[in-house]
Chains A and B, each alone.
Chain A
Amino acid sequence: MMKRLNRNYLRKKNHVSDAVGSADKLLFKNGSLIDFSKRQIVPQDMLIVNGVVAEIGHLEIDEFDGHQFDIAGKLIMPGLFDMHVHFREPGREDEETLLSGASSAMFGGFTSVCTMPNTEPATDNREIIEYILNSLSNHLIEVHPIAAITIGRKGEQLVEIAELVDAGVIAFSDDGSSVANPMLLRRALDYSRMFDILIIEHCEEPTLAANGAMHEGFMSTKLGLPGIPSIAEELIVARNIMLARYTNGKIHIAHISTKGSIDLVRRAKAEGIQVTCEVTPHHFSLCDEDLETYDTNLKMNPPLRTPSDVEAVFEGLKDGTIDVIATDHAPHSSEEKDVEFDAAPFGIIGSETAVGLTITKLVKAGKLNLIDALEKLSAKPYQVLGLPVPEIRSGAKATISIIDQDIEWMVDKHAFRSQSRNTPFHGMRLHGKSWGVINNGKYLISAQQ
């Protein structure tokens, strides 16, 4: 079994390395540059030399000897950043590796990711952080690992936060569960304040959510499945906001999913508490009513909520309560997912559908304007994580995503670069897709693959 998977994986790796080019000399003609600070889209040509933006503007270059692309109608922006992915390495390399996950991200249009620490063993020490950083050191994708808050994600003892920050950790989270003990989370918030570093919380009160398989509502009542009530999320969001206020720490709510949670964050922001949050594309694209067929690719945590929660997500995205769109890319093997609903693990993959769902379900559906929507995939994650947003000006390192917002395509899970296939979007028609990415002196034109 492992042998077969490994061969597949090697084949994919070769395939991907063929696809990535060296950004020695690239000329992009007729692009549209998104300027998030001025909220405008400007027609520009762009010349990249040795991974750096050499020139931007209206360029007339005679006898250009590099690669030239006409990108009329395509959008240029700072490289998309997925701040919530699970790449399963170390531990479950049969589901995803750092390399296959990174391929999936770059084909999806991202240039940076934050990997979550629920690996096996948990990412809670310098060795694993260095392993992750080294594995992708030469990659187009920039990886910013998130470490566990507590050793083994057990919620008992803090990890060595200072050393891990030194090792390159960008944020801390026990994602997959909350830090159940409020005293421990208080210490984490107090301690992390020294480094001005983010604590990310998966908000789920464990006793209220116990054994739940889907959102608790009329659908769970009809399907006879144990429910995960909204209150299980909202109670912890409220607690975390209060702790952030008390400690003056920085807290980020992962994959927010309920109207009540969004209201809490909205009020906290108005009060000036340092809280930010993200939503996944599936939480604005699907709802609990889609579960009629017991499809385990609709089983995720937090669960798909009700249509009125989805409406609240649109509102939160629009008024800025929700800062970021992040995928919660969670690969699972088909053996694990191809079972009865109760027995299936939570989570779906999302790297390669995020752009399409954002443009289709938010922009084309009239819920959010194009600039606001793409900013939540591009500039916002950098800001939330305290990183500089990549600039697109001459002399700056090129960290760039190019998106074709008009292309219509059909999701085909078999074409994914991810090693896993657990998506509910297979066969769906979407508008908008990554055209290509440039980062770390490399480029990938996914539109040509």
Chain B
Amino acid sequence: MSSFTLKHLLGLEGVSRDDITTILDTAASFREVLDRPYPKVPTLRGTTVVNLFFEASTRTRISFELAEKRLSADTISFSTATSSVKKGETLRDTAQNIEAMRVDMVVIRHSASGAPHFLSKCIKGTVINAGDGAHEHPTQALLDMMTIRDKFKRIENLRIAIVGDILHSRVARSNIYGLTTMGAQVMLCAPSTLIPYEAHKWPVQISYNVDDAIEWADILMVLRIQLERQQANFFPSLREYHNYFGLTSDRIKRVNRDITIMHPGPINRGVEIESELADSDKSVILNQVTNGVAVRMAVLYLLSGELKSDDEKTKS
């Protein structure tokens, strides 16, 4: 196994192809562990992991907790939705407490972009970004890449269109970095108001027409549309969004090709994607969820710095 160079996982920007490959390979072997009758390994026994969730999250938090327990780590989870005025104070104070309690690894979800970077400067332990503001959500992109690799046996040269609210999406950003690093072609498709400023400086294509994106793509990665975007006039109505950018079976049927549909969840059924399509055999949405646990096990294991042989790692 090639050596792994990261100390923290703050984002996928700048992370090398080798490191991503190492994570995905390791995740694949943990995926086998998860299918065993007793899906647990002693790998992180004695390691303490704290999950700090300063923003509402069910899926990501449970996925991390499960990954930690499957690795036999000691885990503590802390969830709070803080007011914007107090959030700085809370994070600083929390960081100092963590430092005092000699925690090895911290998983953080926060509404402020850069909060994991801030935390990594405050504490000696390893920081894993579980989503920060509109910045990055690296483990989500890693589990997306794992799911793609499962199905296509490669990532290179695949065409992936990310459809939806790119502007506010950390999932989009992490996937842009991860997928392009792995050699995929990426297209961003959204109403022009939801494409971030100067997004063309990323190595991506940009389209304002969802039918063009469907025509082009092997994989459609659909992002959640939040009601408050309509209130801020990013688009006139959810109705118009669904009519012009929503994914429907009719739209997919128009192209005579196998198309894979992904969604990081939670799904707004009937807005960005038609319910029937989300549940169809084109969808790998639930595979993504299962892979999430394996990818997070891999990230925790690799960042714990105890690179053991494959045998030792998967010994139950």
Contacts and interface: CB of A to CB of B under 8 A. Distances in A.
B partners with A:
yes
Interface of A: 216-218, 220-227, 229, 293-294, 335, 338-344
A343 B113 contact: no
Contact of A224 (B87, B89, B132, B198): B132
Interface stretch (B17-25, B31-39, B133-141, B205-213): B133-141
Nearest to A293: B117
B197 A339 contact: no
A323 B115 CA distance: 39
Interface string B190-231: 000000111101000000000000000000000000000000
Given A339-B89, A341-B113, A343-B84, A221 B118 contact: no
Given A339-B88, A342-B133, A344-B88, A221 B114 contact: no
Contacts of B132: 224
Contacts of A340: 87-88, 91, 110, 112-115, 118
A293 B118 CA distance: 9
B13 A222 contact: yes
B197 A217 contact: yes
Contacts, number: 72
Nearest to A306: B198
Given A225-B133, A340-B118, A294 B197 contact: no
B118 A339 contact: yes
A341 B88 CA distance: 9
Contacts of B173: 222, 224
A48 B78 CA distance: 67
Contacts of A221: 196-199, 201
Q: Which of A226, A294, A335 has the most CB of B within 10 A?
A: A294
B92 interface: yes
B88 A294 contact: no
B195 to A, nearest CB: 9
A223 B114 contact: yes
A271 to B, nearest CB: 32
Contacts of B70: none
A225 B13 CA distance: 15
A294 B173 CA distance: 17
Contacts of B92: 338-339
Contacts of A227: 197
Nearest to A221: B196
B246 to A, nearest CB: 25
B204 to A, nearest CB: 11
B170 interface: yes
B201 A339 contact: no
Contacts of A338: 88, 92
Interface string B116-140: 0110000000000000111110000
Q: How large is the interface on B (under 10, 10 to 19, 20 to 34, 35 or more residues)?
A: 20 to 34
B117 A224 contact: no
Nearest to A341: B114
B199 A294 contact: no
A292 to B, nearest CB: 9
Interface string B153-179: 000000000000000001001000000
Nearest to A220: B197
17 contacts: A218-B201, A224-B133, A224-B135, A224-B136, A224-B173, A225-B114, A293-B117, A294-B117, A294-B118, A338-B92, A339-B91, A340-B118, A342-B84, A342-B111, A342-B112, A342-B113, A342-B114
Contacts of A222: 13, 173
Nearest to B173: A224
Contact of A223 (B88, B135, B198, B199): B135
B136 A217 contact: no
B112 A343 contact: yes
A100 B78 CA distance: 42
By Cβ-Cβ distance, the 8 closest A-B pairs, closest first, are: A339-B88, A224-B135, A294-B114, A224-B134, A340-B112, A343-B88, A221-B196, A224-B113
Nearest to B13: A222
Contacts of B114: 223, 225, 294, 340-342
Interface in B79-121: 84, 87-89, 91-92, 110-115, 117-118
A216 B89 contact: no
A288 to B, nearest CB: 11
Contacts of B134: 224-226
Contacts of B89: 335, 339
A221 B201 CA distance: 10
A395 to B, nearest CB: 56
Contacts of B133: 224-225, 342
B113 A294 contact: yes
A298 to B, nearest CB: 11
B112 A341 contact: yes
Contacts of B135: 223-225
A231 to B, nearest CB: 11
B170 A224 contact: yes
A383 to B, nearest CB: 38
A336 B117 CA distance: 17
A209 to B, nearest CB: 14
A226 B114 CA distance: 12
A293 B13 CA distance: 13
Nearest to B170: A224
A442 B72 CA distance: 71
Given A339-B118, A340-B88, 17 more contacts: A221-B196, A221-B201, A224-B113, A224-B133, A224-B135, A224-B136, A225-B134, A225-B135, A294-B118, A339-B89, A340-B87, A340-B112, A340-B114, A341-B113, A342-B111, A342-B114, A342-B133
Given A225-B133, A339-B88, A218 B112 contact: no
A233 to B, nearest CB: 15
A216 B198 CA distance: 9
A344 B113 CA distance: 12
A412 B243 CA distance: 59
Contacts of A220: 196-197
Nearest to A210: B232
A227 B167 CA distance: 11
A176 B167 CA distance: 28
Nearest to A342: B112
A340 B92 CA distance: 9
Contacts of A294: 113-114, 117-118
A405 to B, nearest CB: 36
Contacts of A223: 113-114, 135
A216 B134 CA distance: 14
B113 A216 contact: no
A355 B132 CA distance: 38
Contacts of B118: 294, 339-341
Nearest to B196: A221
A342 B91 CA distance: 13
A335 B86 CA distance: 12
A296 to B, nearest CB: 8
A225 B132 CA distance: 10
Q: Which of B112, B115, B136 has the most CB of A within 10 A?
A: B112
